[in-house]
Copies of this chain bind each other. A is one copy, B any other.
Amino acid sequence: MSILSRLSFNQMTADPWSLEQVVTNCSRAGIPYIAAWRHKLDGDPTKAAASMRREGLKVSSLCRGGWFSGPTPEDRRQRIADNRRAIEEAAILGAPVLVMVCGPANGQTLEDARATVLDGLAEVLPDAEKAGITLGIEPLHPMYAAERSVVVTLKQATDMAEHLGSPNAGVVVDVFHVWWDPEIYPQIKRAGPRIVGFHVSDWPVPLPGILMGRGMMGDGVIEIRKLREAVDATGYTGPIEVEIFNDELWKNADESLPGLIQQRFLKHV
């Protein structure tokens, strides 16, 4: 079976496209999965789910839950409530995984923020279990530690998942976020069955920007295939999401994009 049968098109790879355009273009190209973002479902996950199902597309994951820390207890309660809504939306979409971007310190110390994240995950985990959704804790690149995620290494994410001790708590490996880590191969092996998602893109040199710097697979220095094979060696056979935040790519996104992604995916993933 071709690896293309595992390809998932993350909605953010073509940010200017409507949900309908993503569905149509993926369906035409024979891309079997879509990775959805909550703010890109036109406010109606039920309708979005129906639209994808109609074209035979599966949802690999929903992005994102998390963002747990906040300066006040009230802030943090609101985050918990929002995570519960995210779990419900994942269930409606039929997304097996809710990707957790755990959030920055946001006024707390780093240590307190990390404790808040773990508490938050523990608090919403029963909801995920009931809904049959797995929380996929995604370590982000350390350059996002101040603004997006105090969870920055696969070791740390796996420690958290182990601490939670539920089949509904897993980790997501994104090559852009983890490729630099001297511990990445032993940590992938250790994470093993806890890996519930794998994301690809590339790291161009020089990096065009902090947030919008990702490149198409093959346009950077990440050893994507080596990482994919390490993840597969743990027994992971699930979808592989292509998630690229890149202004140039967005500006030029047309119907040829899914074909280009498939080509690069075959060659580099």
Contact = CB atoms under 8 A, between A and B. Distances in A.
Given A114-B182, A207-B210, A223 B142 contact: no
Contacts of A207: 143, 146, 210
Interface string A183-221: 100000000000000000001011100100000000011
A69 interface: no
Contact of A142 (B181, B206, B210): B181
A255 interface: no
Interface residues of A, number: 27
Contacts of A110: 179-180, 223
Interface stretch (A31-39, A124-132, A147-155): A147-155
A252 interface: no
A46 interface: no
Contacts of A109: 223
Contacts of A156: 182
Interface string A140-174: 01110111000011011000000000000000000
A224 interface: no
Contacts of A210: 143, 206-207, 210
Contact of A206 (B141, B147, B152): B147
A146 B205 contact: yes
Contacts of A206: 147, 210
Contacts of A95: none
B142 A180 contact: yes
B153 A182 contact: yes
Which has the most chain B C-beta neighbours within 10 Å: A143, A153, A183, A206?
A: A143
A161 to B, nearest CB: 14
B141 A143 contact: yes
Interface of A: 105, 109-110, 114, 141-143, 145-147, 152-153, 155-156, 179-183, 203, 205-207, 210, 220-221, 223
The 8 closest A-B pairs by CB, nearest first: A145-B180, A143-B143, A142-B180, A156-B182, A142-B142, A146-B221, A146-B205, A152-B180
Given A114-B182, A156-B182, 8 more contacts: A110-B180, A141-B142, A142-B180, A146-B180, A146-B205, A147-B205, A152-B182, A207-B210
